[in-house]
Structures are given as C-alpha cells and as structure tokens.
C-alpha cells in the first residue's frame, strides 16, 4: 500500500484552494496514487448538512472533515482538503489527530490577498457582502487566522494554477509522499 497523507489547503474564499486541489489530484492520479478531494461545498451538503458559518459550526465542520481525511490518509489515500478552516485552534486539533495516529499531515496556506480574492469572486460572495446581502464572510467581516508556520505558502496571484499545484507536488515528493 502507498503512503497516504492529508494535504489541507486553507485560505480565503476564491483564494484558489479548490482549483489547486483538483489540478494536483489529476497529476497524482495519473501517477497511480489513490486520491480523494474533500470539497468543502460537497461536505456541507452531506456530512455537515445543517451547519452554518458561526465559529462553533465552522469548528465542527473542520473537525468532521479532519476525521474523515485522517481515516482516508491512514489507509493509503492522499486526501486533499480545500476547506477554509479559518481558526488556528481548529486546524491545530486536526493536526494533533493526525500526529496521534502517526498519519502524515501537510498544511498549505493559499495566501492570496483578499483584494485579489474579491476580484476573482468565483461564487459572487464578496459582491453579496458588499451589497449587504451577506454577513460573516471570511476575511471581510469574519475572522481568518492565517497560519503562522504552514508547510507551504502559495502566492497564487503570482503563479499559474499549474505552478501552484506543482509546488504542492514538490513538497509531497520531498517528504516521500508522492
Ligand atoms: N459566510 C461565509 N464565509 C465563508 N465562506 C462562505 C460563507 N458563506 C458561504 N460560503 C461558502 O462556503 C464554502 C465552504 O466553506 P468551508 O466549509 O470551506 O468553510 S469553513 O472551513 O467551515 O469555514 C466556501 O467555499 P470556498 O469559496 O471554496 O472557500 C464559500 O464559498
Ligand atoms: N495560481 C492559481 N491557483 C489557483 N487558482 C488560481 C490561480 N491563478 C488564478 N486562479 C483562479 O482563481 C480562482 C480560484 O477559485 P477556487 O479554486 O474556487 O477558490 P477557493 O476554492 O479557494 O474558493 C479560479 O477561477 C482559478 O482559475
């Protein structure tokens, strides 16, 4: 069985987490790795149905995803997790769960500045917030606690999608995980 790992991509809405995860997943699958992308939106439709965006609900969401990712990773899957995870203590709890089980865990900060994210505005959330139709948007009127020492920081505004995905791939390779 190949070695699994959780690769958590944290960052603001529209930072590029999902795009990088899918680009990387394609490359890893081509090479024969077993890969799952635990997409935030999908998880919220099923595993976390009914949860909102309060601090408590976001924490619960992140712990559930961390639990599933660890199970997958422990069984040889590369679990790619493009989920905001705005709170340091939530992310730390997920890291600890992996550590306790001896499962590899990488934290990638997709550190695209909020100005760039709000211009990309893939889902129109920044526009909605600006129009007063939405409150509690991460990075605008809700907290985002940036990781202090992630395993990798990606400045997606200065790179192509392929370059960003390649930098995560390089890290996995360096750690003997790809
Ligand atoms: N208020 C608010 N704040 C932040 N994000 C919001 C909000 N409302 C809806 N969304 C959309 O929900 C998507 C999934 O969020 P996550 O599960 O990744 O968030 S969290 O970790 O539980 O905070 C998240 O997906 P991404 O854009 O892919 O990051 C958002 O598009
Ligand atoms: N280097 C890059 N990495 C990732 N996305 C990028 C990059 N450069 C531009 N983009 C664009 O930014 C947008 C990011 O959207 P998405 O991946 O849905 O963000 P998130 O999942 O963080 O909300 C996409 O339209 C993508 O094509």
Nearest CA-CA partner of 79 in 8, 154, 173: 8
Q: Is 11 annotated as a binding residue?
A: yes
* pLDDT of 106: 98
- CB contact at 8 A, 107 and 9: no
Contacts of 58 (CB under 8 A, 6+ apart): 51, 84, 85, 86, 87, 90
* pLDDT of 1: 63
To 10 degrees, the CA torsion angle through 140, 48, 9, 29? Answer: -150
- Protein residue closest via CA to atom 14 of ligand 2: 16
Domains of the chain: 5-174 (3.40.50.300)
Under the banding of pLDDT at 50, 70 and 90, the label for residue 41 is confident
Is the CB of 125 within 6 Å of ligand 1? Answer: yes
- Protein residue closest via CA to atom 23 of ligand 2: 14
What value does the mean pLDDT of the chain take?
A: 97
Is the CB of 40 within 6 Å of ligand 1? Answer: yes
Q: Quick one: which H or E segment has residue 72? A: helix 55-74
More confident position, 149 or 40: 149
pLDDT beyond 90 at 127:
yes
How far apart are the CA of 84 and the centre of ligand 1, in A?
6
Q: Is 15 annotated as a binding residue?
A: yes
Mean of pLDDT values over 16-41? 97
| Helix, strand, or coil (residue 115) | helix
How far apart are the CA of 13 and the centre of ligand 1, in A?
6
pLDDT beyond 90 at 139:
yes
Mean of pLDDT values over 154-175? 98
DSSP per-residue codes, 22-36: HHHHHHHHHTT--EE
């Amino acid at each position: 069985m190949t070695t699994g790992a959780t690769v958590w991509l944290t960052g603001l809405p529209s930072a590029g987490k999902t795009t990088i995860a899918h680009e990387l997943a394609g490359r890893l699958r081509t090479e024969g790795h077993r890969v799952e992308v635990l997409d935030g939106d999908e998880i919220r439709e099923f595993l976390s149905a009914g949860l909102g965006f309060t601090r408590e609900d976001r924490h619960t969401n992140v712990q559930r995803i961390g639990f599933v990712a660890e199970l997958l990773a422990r069984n040889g899957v590369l679990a790619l997790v493009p989920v905001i995870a705005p709170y340091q203590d939530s992310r730390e709890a997920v890291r600890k769960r992996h550590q306790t089980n001896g499962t590899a865990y990488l934290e990638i900060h997709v550190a695209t500045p909020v100005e760039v994210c709000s211009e990309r505005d893939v889902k129109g959330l920044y526009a909605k917030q600006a129009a007063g139709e939405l409150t509690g948007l991460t990075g605008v009127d809700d907290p985002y606690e940036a990781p202090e020492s992630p395993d990798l920081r990606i400045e997606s505004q200065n790179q192509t999608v392929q370059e960003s995905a390649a930098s995560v791939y390089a890290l996995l390779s360096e750690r003997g995980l790809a």
